[in-house]
Amino acid sequence: MNYPVWELYYLNSGTLIAIIAVLHVFISHFAVGGGIFLWLTDLKSVKEKNPELRDYVRKHIWFFLLLTMVFGGVSGVGIWFIIALSNPWATSILIHNFVFAWAIEWVFFMVEIISLLLYHYKFEMLSERFRLRVAFIYAVSAWLSLFVINGIITFMLTPGDWLKTFSFWDGFFNPTNLPALLFRTGICVMFAGLFGFVTAVFLPESGFKTQLLKYCAKWLYIPLPFLILSGFWYFYAIPENARITNFWLNRQTGNTVTVFIISTVLLYLLAILFIFKTSRKLQQITVFILLMIGLAWIGGFEYMREYARKPYVIYEYMYSSSIMVSDEERLNKEGLLKYAKWSKIKEMTEENKLETGREIFNLQCLSCHTVGGVKNDIIEKTRGFTYFGVLTQLYGQGKVLDYMPKFIGTEKEIEALATFIVKGLHHKDATLPLMSYKIKEEKIEIPSFNASKDEYILLVWNDLGMHCLSDSDRWFIFLPPANNLEALLIKRGAKPEIITTGVQIRYQIEKGFENPSKHVKFWNYAEFYFGKNFPENVGITEKGLHGLFDLDEQNGVFIAKALPVVPYNDDGTYNPYPVFDIQAIDKNRGIILQKTKVVAPVSTELRCMICHEGGWRWNGISGISDETAINILKTHDRHNKTKLYQSALRGKPILCQSCHEDVAVGSKGVKGHNSFSVSIHAWHANYIPYRDARACNLCHPNDPQGNTRCNRDIHSRLGIQCTQCHGSLHEHATALLLGQKNSRSANILIKNLNPETPLYEINARKPWINEPDCLGCHTGFQKPLNSSNGFNKWTANINMLFKTKKENMNRIPCIACHSSTHAIYPAFNPYGTNRDNIQAMQYQGMPLPIGGEVKCEVCHKIKMNTSMHHANMIRTFRNKALLNNY
């Protein structure tokens, strides 16, 4: 920020540094190890009185001098030149903080130059004793140069106590100084042997050459255990957070680790060729291959070291964008541009929004990214995201994937950068999506009921209140078409009787919804998801859209499980509330004892395309499009090193829960993976910029302008939103993460969440098991206090869930009388006033819980004066004003 930005879009400055630095480091390590090699080899020639070895040393010096002093010196100057242009502020800090060290290093360097020139040009003139002293002086001064440079380089990764004291000595003798010094010394020795091969292979064939090659090979193999031990020490001296971030989360590090490991194996395997007698030609070819492998090896190591300090250029002191960590809070409040000395724009307006975004991109992104370039191309990285998707990426930047620095600046500056990326680079619309779906209400015919004559009532309900269906079948699914209906047949009387024998409960979907296979491709790919092919329009429990309920003897209810309902009507209209006709039939007599209707709520309004682009799949109304699904898979593959997209292209899509545990589909997942609910909510909580119900509505089908509007019960009409039961997105995700045990990724996902409830107060929960408890607000079945909040008051186990819990007599499920979650009586369905109130209206003429408003005669045929099923039920309805529309 204190210096102008070098605007290189295709080949950014970081890549230029890497090209020059890797070559320089390769040669500079040889300069240190080669000096030791020359001294000890010359010493060996003197002690053994070996003129052939002495002549070899003489020839090797010239090669050594040209490579290290000429190329090494020029490339060293090149590094200073390039780092001063790419990151002048960090360079300035290193110069000023270590000015004494740099001065000493230049003294050592001058000693190197003088001693090497003297050693080469006066080799024949000097006495053996004096010549060896000169060689020794070069070797020591070269190693001392390494000692000084190593202290400064390791400071950038582990500044240690310098962050508090700003002491030269604390910065120099930092936590990784010694292990890195030992490791680099081993590298120097290894490279000495590697470059020794270069001059040895061109000697005439002789016994001496064979012995010399074996001698050079020793220089490779002897430091190997030393390298391994010091390498582990070096690795574990790095802060744990840096190790996790850059050797686990950062997928780019994985590539360099692979290069490092493969090149290590090849380096030592090919070096064996020089131990055994092989042809001169093969040796000469092999030595150049070894040099390339050695270059790749040091490149892999240096890249790992560079990646290890991400997102900083000086760890925990200065970000790679040259922004000081200490300035972060101030810049987030007051703005980045205000303090950017070389930016011509100081304040964003609508007119200069695009240009402002470009300035911010140069300041914050260009140090690591290119534009259509060779590395970290921002265009490729953001392809497949909408404007809102890019906003979320910037909002969540550096939180989960914290090898990137967090975006620093105001919300307006985030918007400007997102505008530049989307409009300026992708040439796409840079506006927030507007959802507006006009719903057509449909009248529903309420089945008849004669209170004086009918002997039975038939209660039927959906167990969830909304089943969401992911209809991206060709690419992936996480929820198949599988809606559950449950039923209870009650024989009316002074003491009502629940009937489970001698009857059958029959169901039939309404016209237009009988052929879901015409609208979704689930049946084309079912075998890949569930290991079995199913007939068209038959679900995963082998039930179709007409048939019989099964008796669940354990719970005393009838159940029709996993009915393959979709919200797509054959006439091209969308209705997430298709209706089933239900009949209770006497098996022996074949007569209908009672009939009713029930909604089977199902929605495909999963709005992944708000971020992942692509639009709706089905008639422009709903569903996950191919483009959206592909963008999601590519994002997953990029972050998790999976190949889901390629697998789907080959016709083998994957059920998400095959890896991620999920009670909802009965999947145990893969050990070590977070559950599906944890993965979805916790990841996105780090990115979505909202905390209130808007965050829920981005993904769940409950937007007030959406095509489903699933939260349709009395609570929503009273103004109670998702967050009052489930908590804000950060609270919701935190509770799930706390319930995810033995997961390293859970710790990463939680660390940047900022829940409104203190972390130590949040109760852990398991998805689909620990849900908001009704009695958490309705204490003693009474009216909740105005301050009541359902968050953090979870059901203890699956038997305490609203959908499974029974009343005090342990006979009737609560849901049978109160209706489904999010559709509690009285419900206000946007597709028809009484679409969710059918049975309440049928049996008692009002949309209240069965038996509500003291309508005990629905089942008992007479008024009752005791609250047998639960406390506080013999009373009038509290919110009668809500019923004005009925």
CA distance 600 to 469: 12
Residue 143, C-beta contacts closer than 8 angstroms, at least 6 positions apart: 32, 35, 36, 185, 188
Q: What mean pLDDT is predicted for residues 504-512? A: 97
Q: How confident is the model at residue 885 (pLDDT cuts 50, 70, 90)?
A: low
The CA-based angle 493-497-499, given to 5 degrees, is 130
597-628 tens-digit pLDDT = 999 999 999 999 999 999 999 999 999 999 99
pTM over 0.75: yes
Chain centroid to CA 779: 39
- Domain residue spans in the chain? 13-318, 329-425, 456-603, 628-680+699-885
Query: What's the pLDDT score for residue 227?
Result: 94
Say whether 456-603 and 329-425 share the same fold.
Answer: no
Confidence class of residue 572 from pLDDT cuts 50, 70 and 90?
Answer: very high
Nearest of 728, 876, 858 to residue 790 by alpha carbon: 728
**391 near 414, Cβ under 8 Å?**
yes
Question: Is residue 1 scored above 80 in pLDDT?
Answer: no
pLDDT tens profile 197-237: 999 999 988 889 999 999 999 999 999 999 999 999 999 99
Question: Domain 456-603: which topology?
Answer: Immunoglobulin-like (2.60.40)
DSSP state letter for 711? -
Strand 654-655 and strand 476-477: pairing? parallel
Supply angle C-alpha 766, 768, 770, rounded to 5: 50
| pLDDT recorded at residue 275 | 81
Query: What would the CATH number be for the domain defined by 329-425?
Result: 1.10.760.10
Residue 609, amino acid: M
pLDDT value at 634 more than 70: yes
pLDDT over 90 at 417, yes or no: yes
Name the residue with tokens 């009713």: 596
Strands (E), 463-502: 467-468, 476-477, 483-491, 497-499
Average pLDDT over residues 801-825: 94
Q: Within a 10 A sphere around the Cβ of 206, how many other Cβ atoms?
A: 10
Closest by Cα among 637, 612, 77 to 389: 612
**Predicted confidence (pLDDT) at residue 357 exceeds the cutoff of 90:** yes
255 confidence band (pLDDT: 50, 70, 90): confident
